[in-house]
Structure 1
Amino acid sequence: MAYQRVWFRPRILRDVSTVDWSTTILGQKSSLPVYISATALGKLGHPEGELTLTRAAAKTGVIQMIATLASCAFDDILDAAAPGQTFFLQLYVNRDREITRKYVQHAEARGVKGLFITVDAPQLGRREKDMRMKVVDEDAGAEVQKGHEVKKDQGVARAISSFIDPSLSWKDIPWFRSITKMPIILKGIGSAEDAVLAYEAGVQGIVLSNHGGRQLDTARSGIEVLVEVVSALRLRGYWPDPRFEIYVDGGVRRASDVLKAIALGATAVGVGRPFLYAFCAYGQEGVEKAIQIFRDEFEMNMRLLGAKAIKDIVPEMVDAKSLSSHFVMTPQDNLFQNTYQPLQLAKFQESKL
């Protein structure tokens, strides 16, 4: 819903006969300013799980972020890649740091181009719909948990995440820098203060995210945090800096959402649920179709904005003043309303006694 509180300020009478929405993310070429964000347990939605994303990404030139909690084995995903295909790795940090070190260094040896460390999940949030499911399908579980005891009475997410280290802190960043040469990005920043600390810690980027709205209730979305983060970095002379990139994930459903984030300072955005829906319903072809829809929308919206290339999308093209207010009237999001079903209230039958 936050994206609907950002309004476009289009420019006219510009030659937009050709437009180019390609970009680079951490120095890696991408056909879109979008990467496939890490999501767990792909085989819950499709028998081939994350491999559907890998093959679609290869055909469309989009970068895939591999989840620590993927259903498919890490090496199986890399083995299914096309020559030269780019991957990032999302990392949940294990209590056993030796396991984490081996995992990270193996990923680097296999050619992964960026390490995205999730920092907003020292404990999994109370995901009540998930908890109602309880049972974990062994065939669709996380590959990283195979061979370990898994509790099945608290929902899928909690069952597979017991290894995550809640002691992870800023003091661990130098250790990560010592074990890998991959760019390090902190995924799950929710405030300007932590964005500043991340820059000062020497990482190469941050992802502004509220973890899909499934961690801390009422935490702001990434797009809402973006404005204050850019302002705080600029105030200290840290921004713009080509050595430090900002990404946003959560709630992106249209190319127009992506363009709003870019105008406000993001390099690219992560998209998760839309690609999940696509491969759950239609497999690899569904993901390719979803990416094609993004392409068509980029072409249309960039022309209507008056931007020939990503570099032409500037802050003056959006009005984001409403983002600072959480009590405003916004257009109803029919896409959201039609996709997500609210929890149903229990209905009690009147007794005939």
Structure 2
Amino acid sequence: MVSVRLKYVIEDVDRHGNVRLYFRRKGYPKIRLRGAPGSDEFMDAYRKALAGAVPIPAKPSVATPGSLRAISIEYFRHLATRKDLEPSTVRVRRGVIEGLCREHGDKPLGRMMPHHVADFRDDRADRPEAANAIVRALRGLFDFAVEKRLVASNPARSVKLLSTGSQGHRAWTLDDVATYEAKHPLGTSARLALALLLYTGQRRSDVVLIGRQHVRDGAIYLTQQKNRRRKPITVEVPIVSALQEAIDAGPTGDLAFLRTEFGRPFTANGFGNRFRKWCDEAGLKGLSAHGLRKAAAARLADLGATEHQIMAVTGHQTSKEVSRYTKSANRKRLAASAMALVEAETGNKRVPLSGLIAPGGTKSTPKPLKRKA
């Protein structure tokens, strides 16, 4: 079979990790090409895109000096030079600010007050995470503007974030793990994924990168992806027997143990979606990859690990996150020891209640007789 490369056809991976084909020509709109490559549907879409593409008209780049849009343009240029920020962070900030610019772009940034920022936040109060993203993005924008002396102060700093009221991703239970393992036996990618998540305590963005190059002397050495540009954190997690068994059973790649059905490493988002499907296949709704990271930390706490021992595995830099697990485990142990004292005191004895309970259900105590004067 002869392979022909079509001009202007590119591969693109969406946020779910799916590979799409597009017609992409500089100065022209990006057009999705549907159908299997080489099929009649695909070739028809390609010919139409090639013959009917209309250049995108140039947009005027005029922005009122001092306006939200004008300062945002400078801020975006600044973000492009920041090596300490994750691309995902830059993408989120830019998306939030561009959304504000569509409605308020021509307004002077220097006149924005805390109550304006609070209004932007409260407009999305039904979605607390989206509301808080606006406050955070504006804090960054104003920090830049203050530093460049484009505005006098940062009104977003005094605006509080909304409480999400969320407990985050639900942690897995031992029963959940057993149910998943019953559906996905050793020798499957689904089972390997579970073992890597549960027995390393790492995020999905790290688990998709783990391969043989990270294994040394019976442990996994890994620099975590989160904050790797600002405060890189390297963990050394010993490989327990259950994880080694899953790795030996495979299937594994070399540079990355986990692979897609096409033999490629997963993206973090693509793996998250695939793992959720594996959970659904096992009848486990509402569970996710991150829930296994929480389960790993909780399991260590239940086994008596200290906060610093858990932090050495998970890579947390403060005890704020892991203290929830250790406090819960400590309460469980203290409650068990307290009730053991009660059991030791009472044993199998049963205290008769019939003589102490009045007909109305109230405990009665015999009153002392009064002597006559």
TM-score (norm 1): 0.21
Q: More strand by proportion, 1 or 2?
A: 1
Structure possessing the higher relative contact order (Cα contacts under 8 Å, 6 or more residues apart): 1
TM-score (norm 2): 0.20
**Structure number with larger C-alpha Rg:** 2
